Structure 1
């Protein structure tokens, strides 16, 4: 799960900050500092669903803005998938919405 969390964060930040023709954002870039696998691993071990959702929400809101907001079809779908993640009440319930977000973001990148 930690890898999927990191990947969703990475894909979101790529949408928000990566510009064509410039170096790509990688997992070890400074912008990923608060969203690395080991950070998520600690949160998962603690079962801190709220902190995980907060971190994901930060990244997903940046991606949503990059997609043009909820007024655009891509943004509406991202908001829908994000809301499913926000409804999770346990670490186990994060799994399916997280996989859906990861797949969606990969497809639009």
Structure 2
């Protein structure tokens, strides 16, 4: 699960910050900040769903800005998926919305 969360964060940051012709953003990039696998592993071990929502939410906000906000076609769908993710209250409930986010962000990239 921590790898899946890290991937959603990475794709979000790539969408927000990566520009054509420049070095790609990688998992070990300082831009990833607190969105790396070890941080997510700790949050998962603690069962800190709110902490996970906070970290992923920050990345998704950046991605929403990159696609033009919630008033665009891409933004409406990303916003809907982000709301589904944010509406989860259990660790088990995070899995399906996280996969949907990962797949959507990968397609957008």
Bin of the TM-score, shorter chain as denominator length: over 0.9
Distance 1:39 1:30 in 2: 14
How many equivalent residue pairs?
Answer: 109
Which residue is equivalent to 1:34?
34
Which residue is equivalent to 1:68?
68
Q: Write out aligned runs for 1:12-91 (5 A).
A: 12-91=12-91
Residue 46 of structure 1: how far off its partner (Å):
0.3
Residue 85 of structure 1: how far off its partner (Å):
0.5
Distance 2:52 2:85 in 1: 10
Residue 33 of structure 1: how far off its partner (Å):
2.3
TM-score (norm 1): 0.99
Q: Which runs of 4+ in 1 moved over 3 A?
A: none
Residue 61 of structure 1: how far off its partner (Å):
0.3
TM-score (norm 2): 0.99
Which residue is equivalent to 1:102?
102
> Aligned with 1:34: secondary structure?
coil
> Aligned with 1:71: secondary structure?
coil
Which is helix-richer, 1 or 2? 1
Unaligned runs of 5+ in 2: none
